[in-house]
Amino acid sequence: MKILVTGGAGFIGSHVVDMYVQHGHQVVIVDDLSTGRESNLNPAAAFYRLDIRDPALQDVFAREHPDAVNHHAAQMDVRRSVAEPGFDAEVNILGSINLLECARRHQVRRLIYISTGGAVYGEPEYLPCDEAHPINPICPYGASKHTVEHYLYMYRQIYGLDYVVLRYPNVYGPRQDPHGEAGVVAIFTGQMLAGQPVIINGDGEQQRDFVFVGDCARANLLALENPAASGIYNLGCGRGTTVNQIFQSLRQATDYEHAAAYGPAKPGETRRIFLNADRIRAELGWAPSLDLDDGIRQTVGYFRTAERAA
């Protein structure tokens, strides 16, 4: 099968590309490299450096004729979404509509859309959140990502476009940007290995659902290859881990000698969120395979070598 992956040079998207290639699929990557890296590109995949908002995206579809689309490209900085909600909506909503129109015009069979379980639900009414939990995002990023889920439903009703939505938890692992806003594991790891101060936003008791990137890539493979996959699926381990716990685990793995410092909480940040993944477990057989300690060891090992050499 030929699949076009937007954001395929990014942290998670590049792992998804690798998974697809390993399982014999043809892959086309569309990425503007605003946050993705050329070093993440799989050499077996075709690559187009292009913004998903660009009308030239139509030309890529006309040339490549993908059977399916995997949509990872996004503006995913919560703080930027609060500061620049128009930009967030332009990329995440208008860019996605451009992609949907390309998929419609070129008879794409399935679209896999990456949404956010950490931001669409807002402050949870119950935990862990399942897919039926009310949608009440408290940041523009969560609102823009959820808006596209409605467009997917409409495109299926009007045009018959099959789709799968994967609502991600907090994903961590190799290739995550240690210098960006998102990804507390990568940011702390980079700072600890460099001997720099580590600042925790708020009191550190915020709870998140952490899942290793390889497990998320496997969910994308199941969503592509299983014809029964349809609709919305949470990914997650179903339990919360605090930022303070992440700090302590990383401190041990990196032999970091300093205590954490604490700064102001981030606006628009959910206090506690972890996800119920029973639906994808029952229907597609997915569950996290790597526990947090092993995942952190693998992540720190990567940062000790690849990131320091970059």
To the query of whether residue 141 is one of the catalytic residues in this protein, the response is: yes
Rounded Cα gap, residues 118 and 180, in angstroms: 18
Amino acid at 157: Q
Rounded Cα gap, residues 261 and 241, in angstroms: 19
What's the 3-state SS for 50-71?
CCCCCCCHHHHHHHHCCCEEEE
* Contact predicate 92/74, CB 8 Å: yes
Does residue 309 have a pLDDT over 50? no
Cα 108 off chain centre by: 22
Amino acid at 275: L
Catalytic choice (20, 48, 141, 168): 141
Q: Would you state the pLDDT for residue 155? A: 98
Percent over 70 (pLDDT), the chain: 98
Strand pairing class (110-116; 68-71): parallel
Give percent helix, percent strand, percent coil of the chain, each to the nearest 5. Answer: 40, 20, 40
Total-model pTM: 0.95
Pick the CATH number of 2-171+210-234 from 3.90.1640.10, 3.40.50.720, 3.40.640.10, 3.40.50.300: 3.40.50.720
Q: 241: burial class by Cβ within 10 Å (0-12, 13-18, 19+)? A: middle
Q: Would you state the pLDDT for residue 182? A: 62
Radius of gyration of the chain (CA): 19
Distances from the Cα of 48 to the Cα of 7, 16, 31, 153, 301, angstroms: 11, 17, 7, 28, 31
Q: Would you state the pLDDT for residue 177? A: 87
Confidence band, pLDDT 50/70/90 cuts, at residue 307? low
pLDDT digits (tens, 9 = 90+) for 16-26: 999 999 999 99
Rounded Cα gap, residues 288 and 210, in angstroms: 10
Confidence band, pLDDT 50/70/90 cuts, at residue 310? very low
Give domain limits for the chain: 2-171+210-234, 174-208+239-277+290-309
Does residue 179 have a pLDDT over 80? no
Q: Would you state the pLDDT for residue 306? A: 79
Strand pairing class (2-6; 26-31): parallel
* Contact predicate 241/207, CB 8 Å: yes
Higher pLDDT, 268 or 229: 229
pLDDT digits (tens, 9 = 90+) for 22-39: 999 999 999 999 999 999
Rounded Cα gap, residues 303 and 310, in angstroms: 10
Q: What is the mean pLDDT of residues 88-103?
A: 98
pLDDT digits (tens, 9 = 90+) for 257-290: 999 999 999 877 789 999 999 999 999 999 999 9
Residues 6+ apart with CB under 8 A from 208: 118, 169, 170, 184, 240, 241, 242, 243, 273, 274
pLDDT digits (tens, 9 = 90+) for 132-169: 999 999 999 999 999 999 999 999 999 999 999 999 99
Strand pairing class (207-208; 241-242): antiparallel
CATH topology of domain 174-208+239-277+290-309: UDP-galactose 4-epimerase; domain 1 (3.90.25)
Mean pLDDT of the chain: 95
Number of H helices, E strands in the chain: 12, 13
Whether 2-171+210-234 and 174-208+239-277+290-309 share one fold: the answer is: no
Lowest mean pLDDT among 38-42, 61-65, 74-78, 84-88: 74-78
Rounded Cα gap, residues 304 and 173, in angstroms: 13
Residues 6+ apart with CB under 8 A from 86: none
Confidence band, pLDDT 50/70/90 cuts, at residue 181? low
